[in-house]
Amino acid sequence: MLLRIAQFPLTRLVVLGAGLYFLLGVKNGFRAQFASAPWLALAAVAAMSALGLAVYTAFVRFVERRPVSELSLPGMGRELGLGLLVGAVLYTLCVLILMLLGNYQIIGLNPWSFMLPAVSMALGSGVFEELVYRGVLFRVVEESLGSWISLLVSSLVFGIAHLHNDNATVIGALSISVEAGLLLAGAYMVTRRLWMSIGFHFAWNFTQSGIFSGNVSGNDTGQGLIKASVQGSDWLTGGSFGLEASMVALLMGTAAGVALLLMAVRRGNVMPPLWKHTN
């Protein structure tokens, strides 16, 4: 009886989602505590990320009673690597467009150690946010309501969750809902696994902060490798929220997300809602 209650979709959303979100908060606490010691911060975040993956795996195996196919190891390297490559290239292309328009200028370089804090930031967000928003929210909602409704729900929740960040804006949150919501869910739908979306999420955030010294979703993460001067309208540069709120990133991310969704459709990876299964 208790197992049936635990397996109910709403129960899984609340218990597993809230549990992982709590660990995400603990991870953020460690990052803040070790802000002046980036190697310790990285070690703490890596340990918390491993714990998050273990908690997710244990819940799926012992409560949902199924193989954890979305985190299976065969093919992990290829999918993770592809996500890392796409995330880094996509953000770099956005910056190059701003450079061609004269809105982003490189004025110097910082020591390589300036990139280190961005590694722990990107690792924690890449692992925990993908477990919560794609591994739990998208997957569980999709089981009942189908892929398209789940895509809408998970994208909106993902964007709204960024409203609590320091320099958050409604435009920034909506932009993330569209560009990142489509892209990250699309990566999951194409592969039916989390590795590509984790890789993309990590690479985008690391490239944004660690290399190009940009704010990440409204969070001022400090200087990265490149000293830069960013000028221009907020709609083009993203303003204090960061490039994610810019028209450039919105167009690039949405285009990539739509491409992945079309690929998922061609592969037959779109799930219908539960009521169509029974007809």
One digit per residue, the tens of pLDDT, for the chain of length 279 reads 777 887 788 889 999 999 999 999 999 999 989 988 999 999 999 999 999 999 999 999 999 999 999 999 999 999 999 999 999 999 999 999 999 999 999 999 999 999 999 999 999 999 999 999 999 999 999 999 999 999 999 999 999 999 888 888 899 889 999 999 999 999 999 999 999 999 999 999 999 999 999 888 877 777 899 999 999 898 899 888 989 999 999 999 999 999 999 999 999 999 999 887 655
Q: What is the pLDDT of residue 93?
A: 96
Nearest Cα to 183, choosing from 171, 164, 196? 196
Q: What is the pLDDT of residue 276?
A: 78
Residues 6+ apart with CB under 8 A from 274: 143, 144, 145, 146
Q: What is the pLDDT of residue 274?
A: 84
Q: What is the pLDDT of residue 278?
A: 55
Q: What is the pLDDT of residue 13?
A: 93
Q: What is the pLDDT of residue 109?
A: 94
Are 217 and 241 contacting, i.e. CB atoms less than 8 angstroms apart? yes
Q: What is the pLDDT of residue 227?
A: 93
Q: What are phi and psi of 158, to 5 degrees?
A: -60, -45
CB-CB neighbours of 122 under 10 Å: 24
Q: What is the pLDDT of residue 279?
A: 52
Cβ-count burial of 68 within 10 angstroms (0-12 exposed, 13-18 middle, 19+ buried)? middle
